[in-house]
Amino acid sequence: MRSLSCFFASLLMLWGCSNQTNNIVETRQQNKPFVNPENWPLHTSPLKRDALVESRISDLLAKMTLEEKVGQVIQADINYITPEQAAEYHLGSILNGGNSGPGNDNHASAERWLALADEFWKASIDTKNGRTGVPIMWGTDAVHGNSNVVGATLFPHNIGLGATNDPQLLHKIGQITALETRVTGLDWTFAPTLAVARNDRWGRTYESYSEDPNLVASYTPHIVSGLQGDLHHSTFLDHSRIIATAKHFVGDGATEEGIDQGDVLIDEEVMRDLHAAGYVPAIQSGVQVVMASFNSWNGAKMHGSKVMLSDILVGRLGFDGFVVGDWNGHAQVKGCSKVSCAQAFNAGLDMFMAPDSWKGLYKNLLKQVKSGVVSQQRLDEAVARILRVKLRAGVFDAGLPSNRPMAGEFELLGHQEHRAVAREAVRKSLVLLKNNNQLLPLRPNINVLVTGEGANNIAQQAGGWTLTWQGNNNNPEHFPNAQSIFQGIQQVVSEAGGHAELSQDSSFNVRPDVAIVVFGEQPYAEFQGDLQHLDYVSNNGLRLLKRFKQQNIPTVAVFLSGRPLWVNPEINQSDAFVAAWLPGSEGGGIADLMFTDAAGKARFDFTGRLSFSWPAKPSDDVLNEGNTIYSPLFPIGYGLSLQDNAALGPLSEDINGEIEHVTRFVYAGDPVVPWRMMLKDRYSQTQVTSKMQTNANGTLTAVATDDKAQEDTVMLTWTGDATLAIEGKPIDLTQQVVGDMTFQIVYKVIQSSSAKSNLILGCGEGCSVSMDISSSLQAAAGKGWQTAQVKLSCFAASGANLGAVQTPFSISSSRGLILQLKEVKVVSNPSAANCTL
């Protein structure tokens, strides 16, 4: 793995290739540092400006009206705009967010994607009434294949690719992703992610190739050139390639406590040498778009940082494409809102990603240019950058999407040759952490039991950013060109005369020679995957492994996850343990390494090596090679081969003092694992498992709703008697009571109810305490976001058993109440807390 670190030394320059970046001390920066652009390497763009292209840009700028120019710098989501509106407002781009599809259908057919691309294209080039008719671009999150489209090839997520130690494989994956995206008429992907994830609690860790900046930098040219074509070859941005986006600039993998979109407190050297390591190689490979990051750096949001977006990215690093924002990311800049942010535009953001706020943003930006808040020169600069990318990529001359080469060749989605590359990627990504008594590889002509929640679950093995944003609400029929892990094992075993049995609960008809248990994280994306610690909290896999251990049945654990997690109990109960990451559509790649051929010879070896350090304790969230204290269970670069005969002894399962009580119950509108959000009425209860859920009798509906970010709150509407409850296993909050701590609730009352509303804490059978909050909700109606603190001691004083809290938060109400909920957690008493909301 280390041999890759110096591969692109000529491109990295000040980034260095002597592993210096691994030895940087990541000290927490308390005060805002002075950022000096001259401390950053000076590069020129590898792209030569074409005189004909520049002349055409000048002609277009002279011809376009102010309204057309303003439209060019705004990107709207297809769920919030029609082709006719895109034409009326002259929008330069559209996107499909993680939960957007043609007709608001995440499982729309490829034909419908292409048809909608045609509609937007035809509307955008309409020159009636003197319109210039600049063609529109469509951006999509094709982040592990064309992963929004049913039937597309799904590659392992980046964390798995980081373990392959194969940059050339990244090039092939980029090519296939581009080709399958072209089939549906789209021309732009929001990939690759160049984050260097340094805190594994972060919900986007699986989008990072590695904690090692040198590995990230070495992969970057290959994935960029795979997507866009080789900069020095005729394939560059030809009809088989798509526009790539290097994201998120910069520091997204460095936030405090791994909080997505949070603050980064590091000095300039660390930001430059570690977290920006992938950007020079991307720019030198001709990447056309850079996406600004949600995060702040010492309190200043990247979307509004002129020094980073203009002085450094363009002025020093030589970037010559355009900068696009992230999902309403401009709204997080101080003094801005979703519909107004001249600050971000003046800082160097060339295109606003304004999925649902595009119309208001358009109107305000138009006013700001007319008033001089945004100069005509700055507007022309941004529009020119966007036009330049469109012209380089052939967007103007490509014609109707359905008439372009490869468009409509739907047989290319999930093509066997593409799936073979994905299967190769799975094989190379698997990391063997334990193989006592060299249990693996197995002979295929045996009785094999396959069990666990992930055994026959393509949605789980594919993870987030798969058909839907969170990777949820996907069923087997949504993966026509895919193979589950069980299906892959069954094929290999049956062909050799063996028997493979699928079991949901560890029961079996024929005693197995070996049990393969597939378990791990459920799909998630972005901040909804943020963790408080690295303990794998589910006991589903452990329970199965223990049952087989008690029956003296050898076990192989296959762990599906988007990051390294503390799984010492599961490793101890396994004879062999495989880190399989999020392998995508090709579960058969796991069987390739598990089993020998008919003659007993290994068909493939385990070559995957950890690109992230594996935690020895649940608190090892910041565990990176080069840290002053570095004591992983398995270090970066670790991984067994089949010939290794190294027995792994019992690992410590003691976590006393390692994990604090789970004291965050709702975050970004979602229950924090392991808590569940329940909608209850008198006769039934319904768990919230989708972005819109209604209880059985229709009296309470929960809808994931945007505030500062995509679906970062939940909107709760009562149409009758019902209760919202956050439930889980009992926890002990007595120490928090002794410490005079409080419940902190962040909420907004959209509409109050005349009915009685209660805040309830449940502490087991027959144990609950309720607090009348009717007047508080009525007083807060229409007054925006509220942050309330309620003392835990109030519930204790009313008789609640705080030693066994099963329902830490619950609200009962009736018709009329509409409540928007963002967060519920336990915090220190801010002195203003009392016994009312």
Q: For residues 416 and 316, is the Cβ–Cβ distance under 8 A?
A: no
Return the closest-CA partner of residue 329 out of 208, 245, 248.
Answer: 248
The answer to which of 152-166, 469-483, 491-505, 653-667 has the lowest mean pLDDT is 653-667
Task: Give residue 831's pLDDT.
Answer: 67
Over range 263-281, report the average pLDDT: 97
Task: Give residue 3's pLDDT.
Answer: 40
Distances (CA, A) of 77 to 83, 429, 601, 750, 781: 11, 34, 52, 25, 30
Residues 6+ positions from 550 with CB-CB distance below 8 Å: none
Number of neighbouring beta carbons within 10 Å of residue 682: 10
Residue 747's H or E segment, with its range, is strand 741-751
Please tell me which residue in 211, 326, 530, 620 is annotated as part of the active site: 326
Structure confidence by residue, pLDDT tens digits, 762-772: 998 789 999 99
The confidence band for 257, taking pLDDT boundaries of 50, 70 and 90, is: very high
Q: What's the burial of 38, exposed, middle or buried (CB within 10 Å: 0-12/13-18/19+)?
A: exposed
Task: Give residue 834's pLDDT.
Answer: 84
Q: For residues 431 and 606, is the Cβ–Cβ distance under 8 A?
A: yes
Distances (CA, A) of 486 to 366, 455, 575, 650, 689: 56, 5, 19, 29, 25
Q: For residues 821 and 669, is the Cβ–Cβ distance under 8 A?
A: yes
595: which strand partners? 442
Number of neighbouring beta carbons within 10 Å of residue 389: 21
Of residues 521 and 23, which shows the higher confidence score?
A: 521
Which SS3 state, helix, strand or coil, does residue 490 take?
helix
Residue 62's H or E segment, with its range, is helix 51-63
Give catalytic status of residue 526 as yes or no.
yes
Over range 173-197, report the average pLDDT: 98
139: which strand partners? 95, 188
666: which strand partners? 671, 824
Return the closest-CA partner of residue 818 out of 750, 767, 733, 761.
Answer: 750
Q: For residues 321 and 45, is the Cβ–Cβ distance under 8 A?
A: no
The confidence band for 663, taking pLDDT boundaries of 50, 70 and 90, is: confident
Structure confidence by residue, pLDDT tens digits, 216-232: 999 999 999 999 999 99
Task: Give residue 328's pLDDT.
Answer: 97
Task: Give residue 297's pLDDT.
Answer: 96
Over range 705-711, report the average pLDDT: 88
Task: Give residue 685's pLDDT.
Answer: 85
727: which strand partners? 676
Q: What is the DSSP letter of 745?
A: E
Return the closest-CA partner of residue 588 out of 478, 427, 435, 439.
Answer: 427
Task: Give residue 111's pLDDT.
Answer: 98
On average, the pLDDT of the chain sits at 93
Residues 6+ positions from 308 with CB-CB distance below 8 Å: 35, 249, 250, 297, 302
Q: Which long-range contacts (CB under 8 A, 24 or more apart) does 476-482 make?
A: 478/107, 478/150, 479/150, 479/154, 479/585, 480/150, 480/151, 480/414, 481/151, 481/152, 481/153, 481/413, 481/414, 481/419, 481/585, 482/154, 482/414, 482/458, 482/584, 482/585, 482/586, 482/587
pLDDT greater than 80 at residue 25: no
pLDDT greater than 70 at residue 4: no
Which SS3 state, helix, strand or coil, does residue 251 take?
coil
The confidence band for 659, taking pLDDT boundaries of 50, 70 and 90, is: low
Over range 126-137, report the average pLDDT: 96
Helix and strand numbers, DSSP H then E, in the chain: 23, 31
Return the closest-CA partner of residue 439 out of 651, 645, 649.
Answer: 645
Over range 271-280, report the average pLDDT: 98
pLDDT greater than 60 at residue 12: no
Give catalytic status of residue 477 as yes or no.
no
Over range 773-793, report the average pLDDT: 94
Residue 776 phi, psi dihedral angles, 5° rounding? -65, -45
**Percent of residues, the chain, with pLDDT higher than 90:** 85
Q: What is the DSSP letter of 307?
A: I
The confidence band for 33, taking pLDDT boundaries of 50, 70 and 90, is: low
Please tell me which residue in 424, 526, 535, 575 is annotated as part of the active site: 526
Q: For residues 323 and 306, is the Cβ–Cβ distance under 8 A?
A: no
pLDDT greater than 90 at residue 682: no
Q: For residues 90 and 130, is the Cβ–Cβ distance under 8 A?
A: no
Q: How many residues does the chain have?
A: 837
pLDDT greater than 80 at residue 624: yes
Distance, in Å, from the CA atom of 701 to the CA atom of 364, rounded to the nearest integer, reads: 34
Over range 452-475, report the average pLDDT: 97
Over range 317-327, report the average pLDDT: 98
The confidence band for 658, taking pLDDT boundaries of 50, 70 and 90, is: low
Structure confidence by residue, pLDDT tens digits, 787-799: 999 999 999 889 9
Q: Are strands 807-813 and 818-828 parallel, antiparallel or unpaired?
A: unpaired
Over range 684-713, report the average pLDDT: 89
Tokens linked to 674: 């392991």
Structure confidence by residue, pLDDT tens digits, 494-514: 999 999 999 989 999 999 999
Q: Which amino acid is at 175?
A: Q
Task: Give residue 20's pLDDT.
Answer: 43
pTM of the complete model? 0.85
Task: Give residue 618's pLDDT.
Answer: 94
pLDDT greater than 70 at residue 487: yes
pLDDT greater than 50 at residue 471: yes
The answer to which of 25-39, 128-142, 242-256, 815-829 has the lowest mean pLDDT is 25-39
Which SS3 state, helix, strand or coil, does residue 206 take?
helix
**Percent of residues, the chain, with pLDDT higher than 70:** 95
